[in-house]
Structure 1
Amino acid sequence: MLAFLPKFLYNIMGLLIKFYGGRVVKGRLILIVDDDRFTRRILRDILEKEGYSIIEARDGEEAFRLYKEMLPDMVILDVVLPGMSGFDLLKILRKEEENLMLPILVLTAKGDFEEKIKGLELGADDYLVKPVNEKELVIKVNNLFQRIEHNRMANPLTGLRGNIDIKEEIKRRIKSKELFAVLYIDLDNFKSYNDYYGFLRGDEVIKLTAKILSDAVELVGNDKDFLGHIGGDDFVIITTPEKAEEMCKYIISRFDSEIKFLYDKKDRERGYIETTSRRGEKLKFPFVSVSIAIVTNEFRDFRSDLEISEVAAELKKKLKQMKGSCYLKDRRRG
Structure 2
Amino acid sequence: MSNVADPISPHCVIADDLRASRELLRSWIAECGYNCTTTANGEDAWEAVKALQPQLIVTDIEMPVASGLDLLCSLRHHRSKRLRSIPVIVISSLQDDDIRSFVQSAGGTVFLTKPLDKIRTQQVVQRLDQVASAANRDFQYTVHEQPWPNKRISPTLRRLYREVQENGPKFS
The TM-score, its normalising length taken from structure 2, stands at 0.72
Q: Is 1:141–2:125 an aligned residue pair?
A: yes
Question: Quick one: distance in 2 between partners of 1:49 and 1:145?
Answer: 13
Conserved in 1, the CA contact under 8 Å of 2:87 and 2:128? yes
Question: Quick one: distance in 2 between partners of 1:80 and 1:52?
Answer: 24
Higher relative contact order (CA 8 A, sep 6+): 2
- Pairing of 1:100-119 with structure 2 (within 5 A): 100-109=84-93, 111-119=95-103
Question: Quick one: distance in 1 between partners of 2:109 and 2:32?
Answer: 20
Q: Describe the superposition over 1:230-275 as per-residue Cα deviations: whole angstroms up to 9, x where unpaired.
A: xxxxxxxxxxxxxxxxxxxxxxxxxxxxxxxxxxxxxxxxxxxxxx
Number of the residue aligned with 1:305: none
Instruction: State the Cα distance separating 1:52 from its structure 2 match.
Output: 1.9
Number of the residue aligned with 1:82: 64
Letter in 1 for 2:105: E
- Structure 2's unaligned 5+ residue stretches are 140-172
Question: Quick one: distance in 2 between partners of 1:101 and 1:152?
Answer: 11
- Pairing of 1:56-75 with structure 2 (within 5 A): 56-75=38-57
The TM-score, its normalising length taken from structure 1, stands at 0.38
SS in 1 for 2:22: helix
Q: Describe the superposition over 1:55-86 as per-residue Cα deviations: whole angstroms up to 9, x where unpaired.
A: 00101111111111111110001011112111
Conserved in 2, the CA contact under 8 Å of 1:59 and 1:84? yes
Instruction: State the Cα distance separating 1:147 from its structure 2 match.
Output: 0.8
Deviation above 3 Å: which 4+ runs of structure 1? Answer: none
Number of the residue aligned with 1:31: 13
Conserved in 2, the CA contact under 8 Å of 1:103 and 1:145? no
Number of the residue aligned with 2:35: 53
Conserved in 1, the CA contact under 8 Å of 2:92 and 2:113? yes
- Pairing of 1:106-185 with structure 2 (within 5 A): 106-109=90-93, 111-152=95-136
Aligned length: 137
SS in 2 for 1:148: helix
Question: Quick one: distance in 1 between partners of 2:136 and 2:32?
Answer: 23
SS in 2 for 1:152: coil
Letter in 2 for 1:139: Q
SS in 2 for 1:17: coil
Question: Quick one: distance in 1 between partners of 2:20 and 2:137?
Answer: 37
Question: Quick one: distance in 2 between partners of 1:93 and 1:140?
Answer: 20
Question: Quick one: distance in 1 between partners of 2:70 and 2:99?
Answer: 13
Report the identity percentage: 24
Normalized per residue, the structure richer in helix is: 1
Normalized per residue, the structure richer in strand is: 1
- Structure 1's unaligned 5+ residue stretches are 5-9, 20-26, 157-334
Question: Quick one: distance in 2 between partners of 1:68 and 1:153?
Answer: 17
